[in-house]
Amino acid sequence: MSAASPPPSPHIALMGCRIDNLDMRETVDRVEGFIASGRPHQHVVVNVDKLVKAARDPQLREIINACALVNADGMPVVWASRLLGRPLKERVTGVDLFEALMQRAAQRGWKVYLLGAREPVVAQVRALYSQRNPAVDVVGHRNGYWPAGEDEAVAEAIRRSGAQLLFVAISSPRKEEFLSRWQQHMQVPFAMGVGGTFDVVTGAVQRAPVWMQRSGLEWFYRFLQEPRRMFRRYFIEDMAFIGLLWTEWRTSRRDARGGGR
């Protein structure tokens, strides 16, 4: 019989989204509790881009808030939490959490399914981790390119695999929508969207130096790699984050003074 899921973790609210206030070790331990329960749980990371999209898309915001675990992926989100007086412990990036969970999977014998990216990339991820540690049990993989009408077939293949960890590298909000709709059918104890992680771990995309990661400049390094592709996202679409932060800061200040009564 399945064990009960762990109780809710400490969390904050930021721009209408719930974010769990956990560090990396606490996050991995919580995932272990999810897997021990045997019940399906969905994970999401939020960065500036995701928060801006969620502010404009009530359905995406609802999906995020329904997830069992939400981490902050990006220093600007951590800085915003501090500015608003709701400090997060640290950022937990999708790349780092993926690596940590693959290590724990090897130790615990968890079954892993890799979904997303181009076929050569996802196949390379599978081969790479199997070579690094034969104890990693990757029970299946599939690229991220299929018509919407095949969602059920993809979900059924994952269910049959018996995977306990599902890593999904397809774009937002399709990723969140797919997991929200099919997670109960797949019955994977922990499903996590990993963005461009597969490209990073295979070396197809180079990650920013550590000093840039710690300084919150990882986004700028990514922009330098693909300026034409990333310009609109970082310099047009994500600029709305500043306005959202300003509005929330003013509201919190007004409420602190009693002006919200």
- What pLDDT, on a 0 to 100 scale, did the predictor assign at position 2? 63
Q: Between vectors from CA 198 to CA 193 and to CA 202, what angle results, nearest 5°?
A: 165
Tokens 């960065």 sit on residue? 47
For the chain, which residues make up each domain, given as ranges? 11-252
> How many alpha carbons fall within 13 Å on the CB side of residue 196?
10
Alpha-carbon radius of gyration of the chain = 18
Per-residue pLDDT of 132-191, as tens digits, reads 888 999 999 999 999 888 999 999 999 999 999 999 999 878 888 899 899 999 999 999
Q: What confidence tens digit (pLDDT) does each residue in 54-110 have?
A: 999 999 999 999 999 999 998 899 999 999 999 999 999 989 999 999 999 999 999
Residue 259: pLDDT over 60: no
Q: Is 63 exposed, middle or buried (0-12, 13-18, 19+ CB in 10 A)?
A: buried
Which residues, other chains included, contact 61 with Cβ-Cβ below 8 Å and sequence gap of 6+?
A: 16, 17, 54, 55
